A and B are shown apart, each in its own frame.
Chain A
């Protein structure tokens, strides 16, 4: 439609311009009819997908976590947006026509917004590729950006496939180890990403499922060849973070130093999992 505008002969005729403009208006009305124009997201995971799929003009607010460069893959493009802390009183004045939340949403806020007549959509937390794809599709559908969503999925799948083509035959033992001894067992994004990057996740092998702590003895017995970690707040100090300095961990990382995978790549499900898989695969060398 836009390519019609520069055609000079038409421009000379004012009535033609008027007709054209009203036509354009009608078309855009038809295209965007029913699409939310004041979208509010109250969770980091929905924030990021929203920022990937929708331009700033339709985003009314995102959660404040989206600004944190350690947690948010989209921190750069998040900086110009209004931010919220998931509190109902912040959200109401924004008059949102769509409120997005994810699995760990502040439940009372979600329920209250619903009762007050707002449309609230809660996306589940995905822990594998199928879940990531379905979340992207669902989000794209909700905001009317299906094509863009498919492009994101295609690009993500292609990158992961190209990693898969260059993997070593033998799967070395890896583990994701966090402060306070937390690890990701089976049915987690980290497990999926490690698997796609050619590692076997020893946490899952010794029976850890979901996010749970693993004792130092169990960790030693599992004999991981490579430890991955994601600093959440580098430069801060706590008993939990001191645990990464334990002599046992130092011993385990003597041959292969701990590899840092940026938290923003896999704290939430999304196409950035491809970055995580690439970083994990690079650790084989």
Chain B
């Protein structure tokens, strides 16, 4: 009815939500830096990190906890953001990097590059492998399912490509010359941000930023796409170009994230659904909040992992899946009810 007013109030509330999330993220960031196997005085560690010769506690802060925290934030934000984008683009509430093949494809690409030894020759080969794998798998799913695929078709195509990609991951890891490869199947399929260094973070940062940059500003196009491709076209959007840009951006960001952390499940699927009740259903409002929400979720999950008794080596993907899988089932039930 009173459209201007509703938009006005929800924009304000969206802004509030964004600042709320940002504050929460900041708090979690510092909490995350203080969680580890040994309690360290954060302020002293920070001061010593600024000095000339790094001390033990400053190394723990800057070389162990900081990269781990930053990578969890970056990867989580990518997954949340790309989940929101894919759900908007494909007009499908079950679309997510995990479901449409971009995560498993990225894992396949990264595994291929890493275990053949290419990543040792050229560090950048790892994220590039992830991106190419991600893009390839997404395109396959998209071609298999067709443009205006029903939920079921998309899921089937996604399941097929995911299964194929993960089978190939297992195959490569079984055939890889490294005796450690086979034990790393779980790492790629569940994902982990443990024992990462700043070099991993830098490797992840640039493709992620490029991906995010390509996604930024796609909100209006996604809003138009909710009305159907024809309407979006008459509104002046070049739909195929938009689609390509979003696929490419997702491949860049998800491909880079997965090549460093492995395929962390359910963050991309769940985050937009958790955010929607707060900001409404318009994709443009979902993007920033989903990115922040994804970062918060993954960081929280990784903090849980770190608080578990040491020596267990629980992967962060186990936590996200334990929370995400029941939520996924709930979504399916809800969708079924709507269809009936």
Give the segment of A193-201, A230-238, A277-285 that binds chain B. Answer: A230-238
CA distance A246 to B63 in the complex (A): 9
Is A217 a contact partner of B180 (Cβ separation < 8 A)? Answer: no
Is B197 a contact partner of A238 (Cβ separation < 8 A)? Answer: no
Query: Which B residues touch A218, using CB under 8 A?
Result: 37-38, 310
**What secondary structure prevails in chain B residues at the interface with A?**
loop
Is B120 interfacial (CB-CB < 8 Å)? yes
Give the segment of B111-119, B138-146, B215-223, B317-325 that binds chain A. Answer: B111-119
Query: Which A residues touch B240, using CB under 8 A?
Result: none
CA distance A180 to B183 in the complex (A): 10
Is B311 a contact partner of A221 (Cβ separation < 8 A)? Answer: no
8 A Cβ contacts from A216-253 to B: 216-218, 220-221, 223, 232-233, 235-241, 243, 246-248, 251
Query: Which B residues touch A124, using CB under 8 A?
Result: none
CA distance A247 to B60 in the complex (A): 11
Is A181 interfacial (CB-CB < 8 Å)? yes
CA distance A89 to B120 in the complex (A): 41
Is B311 a contact partner of A236 (Cβ separation < 8 A)? Answer: no
Is A217 a contact partner of B64 (Cβ separation < 8 A)? Answer: yes
Is A144 interfacial (CB-CB < 8 Å)? no
CA distance A152 to B94 in the complex (A): 68
Q: Which residue of B lies closest to A221 (CB)?
A: B38
Is B119 a contact partner of A220 (Cβ separation < 8 A)? Answer: no
Interface contact tally, CB-CB below 8 A: 82
Interface size class of A (residues with CB under 8 A): 20 to 34
Is A221 a contact partner of B56 (Cβ separation < 8 A)? Answer: yes
Is B205 interfacial (CB-CB < 8 Å)? no
Query: Which B residues touch A243, using CB under 8 A?
Result: 195
8 A Cβ contacts from A33-92 to B: none
Name 13 interchain pairs, CB-CB below 8 A, sorted by A: A217-B37, A232-B179, A233-B179, A236-B177, A236-B179, A237-B116, A238-B115, A238-B178, A239-B114, A239-B184, A239-B187, A247-B198, A248-B63
Q: Which 8 A-B pairs have the closest CB atoms?
A: A236-B178, A240-B180, A238-B178, A238-B180, A236-B177, A237-B117, A217-B37, A247-B63
- Interfacial residues, chain A to chain B (CB-CB below 8 A): 179-181, 212-213, 215-218, 220-221, 223, 232-233, 235-241, 243, 246-248, 251
